[in-house]
Structure 1
Amino acid sequence: MATRLRQANKKCTVIGGSGFLGQHMVERLVEKGYAINVFDIRKGFDHDKVQFFLGDLCRKEDLLPALQGVTLVFHCASPTPSSNNRELFYRVNYLGTKAVIEACKEAGVQKLVLTSSASVVFEGTDIKDGTEDLPYAKKPIDYYTETKILQEKEVLQANDPERNFLTVAIRPHGIFGPRDPQLVPILVQAAKSGKMKFIIGDGKNLVDFTFVENVVHGHILAAEQLQINSPLCGKAFHITNDEPIPFWEFMSRVLTGLGYEAPKYHIPYWLAYYLALLLSLVVWLLSPFVAIRPTFSPMRVALAGTYHYYSCGQAKKHMGYKPLVSLDEAVDKTVKSYPHLQWSA
């Protein structure tokens, strides 16, 4: 009987399991002996120990088959942060999450672990060693963050120990690693087009970048520690590499590791910010006539030129979190995983 109960507790669903973080999550859960369902809009890979369910996140009837007999759900589905589709963010991150919560409750799921974002408290100004009690951003830096705030609130408010439904949110920052379709490929594309020559500000601003394996580790620890009366219930926790690094040093390490030149010319932060504001105004004025999506925006200037790193103190205290992979090793692993993006290629 105890063995059967343990096996039931090891069955989980990863919503968004075909994505970058989701695939790494699935691989680690398989290693740990979990039986896994993946729910997504596409089948991103094949694995004989994984059952796929395809459907629309916003349709409860699509979700329910993937949640049968499942005690634990990881929800890491989201459009990419670089998208500019406000309607899509609202639909997936907010309405989709409401559908996930309803479906979980109906299917008898006991634990829901959300992938949130540390950016929910970031407004484009310095955050140094930020803790989870910082208020939500009143002026979120983009549509992605705006809807991640709505999403996190929904999940944490849904925590209901009396009905045996427990929730927790993990807030990673700057996720990177092998198979990442965002950070490294976008960085390389910028370098190839000559856009990585300038350092915004003095180059000393510290930022968190978090290796994907450490993010996965944080999620699984949270799931395993999430019990009735635990301090995790209905709370959010920062998960980072716990090694803040100057933003431009990290970018330079990745670029030089792939054979590209590191940025070397400095542009004052205030000048870059006002140029980006001016460009945004021009784009807005031209918007009735032509659609332009500038890569140089006030939000990106803020991300590149301010301090934003976060404390993992609460995760260490209540989950026993400790990064598994150091930043040096993580950068090395990541660079080696992109041979096709090397300069010579």
Structure 2
Amino acid sequence: MATRIRPSSKRCAVIGGSGFLGRYLVEQLVDRGYSVSVFDIRQGYEIPGVTFHQGDLCDKQALLAALQGVSLVFHCASPAPSCDDRALFHRVNIDGTQTVLKACQEAGVQKMVLTSSASVVYEGTDIKDGKEDLPYAKKPIDYYTETKIQQERLVLEACDTEKGFLTVAIRPHGIFGPRDPQLVPILVDTARRGKMKFIIGDGKNLVDFTFVENVVHGHILAAERLRPESPLCGKAYHITNDEPVYFWDFMSQVLVGLGYDPPKYRLPYQLVYVLAMVLWLLVLFLRPVLQLRPTFTPMRVALAGTHHFYSCARAKQDMGYQPLVSLKDGIARTVESYAHLRKAA
């Protein structure tokens, strides 16, 4: 049996620490004097002093090895939202999280910060200045959202001040920044294929995009303010740049910054949504005989054509959150980091 090491408040583990957000989180924690162990299915980089444990989220024994002497766990492992694998989402976000919670309680971990998502309350219709007390989506728009709702519930319900296990959930929205494997590469690929000519809707829908360093800042603040008597216990918090921007303006700034033309032709939102829905149903119907992966889904159309921005008032009040990097600087730093994707390149 493994010997129990007394947890130290500066010893933490980042589950999913090889991912986009996870790596930034690890770097910031190291800078702040934490000793960090990373648990992930793959090791994507090396940082002096950081211990890597490779393993499966559903393997409790592998998790326990990474949680020895750890008092604080950040759980940010999840398949990419664009992945369309329902079984994988269920295995990682639900089964994996249940295993993580059991391992944390067995290892004597005192605090857990979950990376949730603001989309847990989004059903494909407008949300303006959404607060955390909005109900969970009754009709989640994809498997990612469906399983993130269940995951957040599991983690927040596990909060138990009497047993000394405290939990909090951070709900970022539209994370972007240098090294992002999703947003900018997909956007550039779409532009290169000549498919970024159209604006869906009137182009005036406001959304939140959040620079990755601000998301990390929110996670660390939450961890450091999470105490038995604090209002954070068992609660969820929106973390954004607090600067809603027109969706198509943001996309255009990134595209133009990299030398591509911005979209300029408008398509009616309802028409595009209906077409995406028909295509999605057709794919479902054909799935037994044909594996198709349309990029044009009802979820993506909804995200591109509706308002979805959230209030950070609760995070400001309970943990003193303020974004560290402005949207303008975040976009500039992101564009600069993708010089290799420029049109001339």
- TM-score surpassing 0.5? yes
1:291-337 per-residue CA deviation (whole Å, 9 max, x = no partner) reads 11111111111010000000000000000000000000000000001
Match of 2:189 in 1: 189
Q: Could you list the runs of 4 or more consecutive aligned residues of structure 1 that deviate by over 2 angstroms after TM superposition? A: 281-289
Match of 2:51 in 1: 51
The separation in 2 between residues aligned to 1:64 and 1:280, in whole angstroms, is: 41
Match of 1:100 in 2: 100
Further displaced range: 287-296 or 305-314: 287-296
The separation in 1 between residues aligned to 2:294 and 2:306, in whole angstroms, is: 20
Match of 1:265 in 2: 265
Q: 1:225-264, aligned counterparts within 5 Å? A: 225-264=225-264
The separation in 2 between residues aligned to 1:323 and 1:17, in whole angstroms, is: 22
Is 1:158 aligned with 2:127?
no
Match of 1:339 in 2: 339
Shift of 1:289: 2.6
Shift of 1:283: 2.2
* DSSP-derived class of the 1:276 partner: helix
Read off the aligned partner of 2:12 and give its amino acid letter.
Answer: C
Q: 1:18-57, aligned counterparts within 5 Å? A: 18-57=18-57
* DSSP-derived class of the 2:92 partner: helix
Shift of 1:195: 1.1
Read off the aligned partner of 2:102 and give its amino acid letter.
Answer: E
Q: 1:65-214, aligned counterparts within 5 Å? A: 65-214=65-214
Read off the aligned partner of 1:94 and give its amino acid letter.
Answer: I
The separation in 2 between residues aligned to 1:64 and 1:285, in whole angstroms, is: 43
Shift of 1:282: 2.6
Aligned in 2, Cα 1:285/1:100: closer, same or farther, shift over 3 Å?
A: closer
Q: Among all aligned residue pairs of Structure 1 and Structure 2, give the percentage whose two residues are the same amino acid.
A: 70
Read off the aligned partner of 1:269 and give its amino acid letter.
Answer: Y
Read off the aligned partner of 1:189 and give its amino acid letter.
Answer: D
Match of 1:329 in 2: 329
The separation in 2 between residues aligned to 1:34 and 1:288, in whole angstroms, is: 49
The separation in 1 between residues aligned to 2:35 and 2:204, in whole angstroms, is: 45
Read off the aligned partner of 1:118 and give its amino acid letter.
Answer: A
Aligned residues: 340
* DSSP-derived class of the 1:343 partner: coil
* DSSP-derived class of the 1:104 partner: helix
Match of 1:4 in 2: none
Shift of 1:290: 1.6
List alignment gaps of at least 5 residues for structure 1. Answer: 1-6
Shift of 1:29: 0.5
List alignment gaps of at least 5 residues for structure 2. Answer: 1-6
* DSSP-derived class of the 2:178 partner: coil
The separation in 2 between residues aligned to 1:288 and 1:156, in whole angstroms, is: 38
The separation in 2 between residues aligned to 1:228 and 1:250, in whole angstroms, is: 40
CA RMSD of aligned residues (A): 1.1
Shift of 1:277: 1.6
* DSSP-derived class of the 2:70 partner: coil
Match of 2:300 in 1: 300
Read off the aligned partner of 1:204 and give its amino acid letter.
Answer: K
1:214-236 per-residue CA deviation (whole Å, 9 max, x = no partner) reads 00000000000000011000000
The separation in 2 between residues aligned to 1:323 and 1:98, in whole angstroms, is: 31
* DSSP-derived class of the 2:162 partner: helix
Read off the aligned partner of 1:43 and give its amino acid letter.
Answer: Q
Read off the aligned partner of 2:38 and give its amino acid letter.
Answer: V
